[in-house]
Amino acid sequence: MNELSTVEREFLLNAQTLREVLRATQKAVNVTVATADLMKLKDNGYRMCFAKKVGTESYNVIWQSYVDFSENNTFSWTPEYQIFRTDTFESEVTVKVSSNPKDIGLGEITVIDKYGILSDPVTGGEETSINVDNEYKATHVGISQVSKGVDGKVAATPIYVSENECMTGKASFRPVEKVLIWFEYNAETSTMFTDMKTNSIEVDLTQTDNVNVKYENEKWSKI
């Protein structure tokens, strides 16, 4: 086996350092639920749901949903992403991953080859986006992101699936630090949707790392 060159070793070290820095860049939303509202929501089978913004597209995947929420909840995330391919986008259906997901960072690009297999990402494409070069056929592209839930568990789950098929060629997807929060009956993590049928609040963490919101008397407010 050939040893890595000095340039290759430096590139891998820089990439590792960047990933470590990104992991330390945590965003968090603190959600307070008034006691009376908490009891009513739980008695009626509602879950606390979160969705993440990608580009200028509408929110379209339930990033996480929680049945075990309480009066005080913290939901946080780091800019650690995965990219995958899926054959369909269908509202009210759980995302079904059709390829092995690949860890990917902003400013990196993966190739979907003629077999529908994703390559290991390398530097390339728009610096603030997740990039793909599709050599397969028209297909839907999905993005997952790491989060730490109100239950304390860490997981990477879908935040976005392209509603329209991505044609062959290059495409870019730019995660935005905006999150939608709402309560929904019996909602499941990774469910795709096309419209928001319930009361929700959007929080913007572009310029901050923490936001506090409250749900009281069936209304959302920022605190």
Which regions in the chain score pLDDT beneath 50? 1
Give residue limits of the domains in the chain.
6-222
Residues near 123 by beta carbon (within 8 Å), at least 6 away in sequence? 15, 107, 108, 109
93, 191 in Cβ contact below 8 A?
yes
Task: Tell me the backbone φ, ψ of residue 39, rounded to 5 degrees.
Answer: -65, -40
Instruction: Name the residue among 138, 126, 78 with its Cα closest to residue 103.
Output: 78
| pLDDT at residue 24, rounded to an integer | 55
| pLDDT at residue 1, rounded to an integer | 43
Q: Is 107 exposed, middle or buried (0-12, 13-18, 19+ CB in 10 A)?
A: middle
DSSP 50: E
Cα gap 6→117, rounded to integer Å: 30
| pLDDT at residue 129, rounded to an integer | 98
| pLDDT at residue 20, rounded to an integer | 55
Say how many residues make up the chain: 223
Using one digit for the tens of pLDDT, what is the confidence trace for 74-102?
A: 999 999 999 999 999 999 999 999 999 99
What does the CA dihedral 179, 101, 120, 104 come to, rounded to 10 degrees? 10
| pLDDT at residue 198, rounded to an integer | 74
Cα gap 193→168, rounded to integer Å: 25
Cα gap 195→92, rounded to integer Å: 10
Strands 140-148 and 130-134: unpaired
Task: Tell me the backbone φ, ψ of residue 43, rounded to 5 degrees.
Answer: -65, -25
| pLDDT at residue 25, rounded to an integer | 82
Token pair belonging to 47: 């879950």
Query: Mean pLDDT score of the chain, rounded to an integer?
Result: 92
